Amino acid sequence: MKKPIIVIKFGSASITTAEGELDEKVVKDIAKQVAVLHQKYNIVLVSSGAVAAGKKFIPKYAGTLIERKAAAAIGNPLLLQTYSRYFEPYNLAIAQSLCERHHFSNRSQFLQLKKTYEELWKNNIIPVANENDVVSNMELKFSDNDELATLIAVGFGAEQLLFSTSVPGVLDEKGKVVPEIRVIDKEALSLARTDKSSVGLGGMTSKLNFARLATQMGIKAVIFGIRTEDGILKSLKGETGTVCHPQPTKISSRNKWLASGSLIRGSVQVDEGAQKALEKRRSLLAVGVKSFLSDFESGEVFQIVNEKNIVIAVAKAKIDSKTLKTIESRQNIELAHADDIVLL
């Protein structure tokens, strides 16, 4: 029987010390827990920390984008060496996987990534993914590694997605951990304040937003404290942190990929009639488009927002937006076929 997949994400704030150095104690602890789990699960680790590990080699480091890239180039091998060192006592090798956004937007390339991971798992090797900061450009960057972890979890059909964090979980206004969130709605999202740690990119807003996407795609997501004893093992059992429950879904794996991994190019706003049609799983006709918010080519993926500007779906375009705008009568033009629309 195939082992279930779990994706575990470690942010910069989780694996660095207060001084901004890699926290080897944390890496050691990760290795100890992952060694227990890997018998039962196929595991992907998504780890930040390259910039933190590399920045001390750049005199007068001020955190500009280009300095971050240089720091990542220096820090990535150091980060991986540290993981290697602490996994070795468990006879576990680790493998580096540097990802860019377009590896996810192109389905055949994405499937190659999946095949490589399967080969690694078959050989008892644990992939450690990180964004390929050295070459990623601003426009196509992942927003942070919370996004990368989510794209991997959704695209691979993971059973659980665990986000470690520097705090014990999602905290309420009194500073107490919220033990579970049934549905990540507006109210749940508002728990995240705008503050974040000094080293990480994402913070809690990002974790909750991506946990929302994962749960909408049927994956259980847990936000847990890296400094909780046996935090990984306990969060997997729902015994610590904030458990975000998966929503029932029948979306096929191709459409999950469409909803999460694809590069969303453009965006349209639709009227109420079109929204109702989409909810009934109909195709999107151009006549229901109120406005084109940003352009897309035929074959590209665009977002659909409703009259309240809430994203309700993503879809693959049958026709490009510029041509469509020039057509007077859009009555019978199908902008996206029902099979190529994923409701969110």
**What are 99's strand-pairing partners?**
131
Q: Would the annotation count 145 as a binding residue?
A: yes
Terminus-to-terminus CA distance in the chain, angstroms? Answer: 31
Residue 44 binds which entry of ligand VHF, ligand ADP, none, CB below 5-8 Å type-dependent: none
CB of residue 78 vs ligand ADP: minimum separation in angstroms?
18
Does residue 52 interact with ligand ADP by CB under 6 A?
no
Q: Which of residues 170, 188, 251, 324 is near ligand ADP by CB under 6 A? A: 170
**Cβ closest to ligand ADP, residue 193 vs residue 337:** 193
Compute the distance between CA of residue 47 and CA of residue 108 in angstroms, rounded to an integer.
24
**What minimum distance in Å lies between the beta carbon of 203 and ligand VHF?**
7
Among the listed residues 30, 44, 51, 274, the single contact to ligand VHF using CB under 6 A: 51
Structure tokens at 33: 């827990």
* Interacting partner of 40 out of ligand VHF, ligand ADP, none (Cβ under 5 to 8 A depending on kind): none
Choose among ligand VHF, ligand ADP, none what residue 50 binds, the Cβ cut-off being 5 to 8 Å by kind. ligand VHF
332 is in an annotated binding site: no
* Per CB under 6 A, 49 contacts ligand ADP: no
3-state secondary structure of 192: coil
Edge-first strand order for the sheet with 160-165 is 93-99, 125-131, 42-47, 5-10, 160-165, 220-225, 242-244, 180-181
Which residues within the stretch 55-84 sit at the binding site for ligand VHF (CB under 6 A)?
72
- Nearest distance, CB of residue 226 and ligand ADP, angstroms: 8
Residue 268 CB, nearest distance to ligand VHF (Å)?
Answer: 30
Asked whether residue 185 is marked as a ligand-binding residue, the answer is no
**Pairing mode of beta strands 334-336, 284-285:** antiparallel
> Could you give the CA distance from residue 303 to residue 343 in angstroms, rounded to a whole number?
10
- Residue type present at position 259: A
The one among 6, 7, 8, 11 contacting ligand ADP by CB under 6 A? 11
**Cα distance between residue 214 and residue 197, in whole Å:** 23
Nearest-5° angle of CA 239, CA 240, CA 241? 140
Residue 257: both structure tokens together = 């990929």
CA distance 304 to 191: 26
**Beta strands 311-316; 301-305: pairing state:** antiparallel
Residue 48 or 267: which CB sits closer to ligand VHF? Answer: 48
Binding of residue 201 to ligand ADP (CB under 6 A): yes
Buried b (16+ CB within 10 A) or exposed e, 184-202: beeebeebbeeebbebbbb
Q: Does 48 bind ligand VHF (CB under 6 A)?
A: yes
Give CA–CA dist 4/161, Å, rounded.
12
Our CB check for ligand VHF shows the closer of 11 and 155 to be 11
Establish if 202 lies at the interface with ligand VHF (CB under 6 A): yes
Residue positions forming the annotated binding site for ATP? 9
Which residues are at the interface with ligand VHF (CB under 6 A)? 11-12, 48-52, 72, 130-131, 133, 144-146, 200-202
Which residues are at the interface with ligand ADP (CB under 6 A)? 11-14, 144, 165-167, 170-171, 191-193, 195-197, 200-204
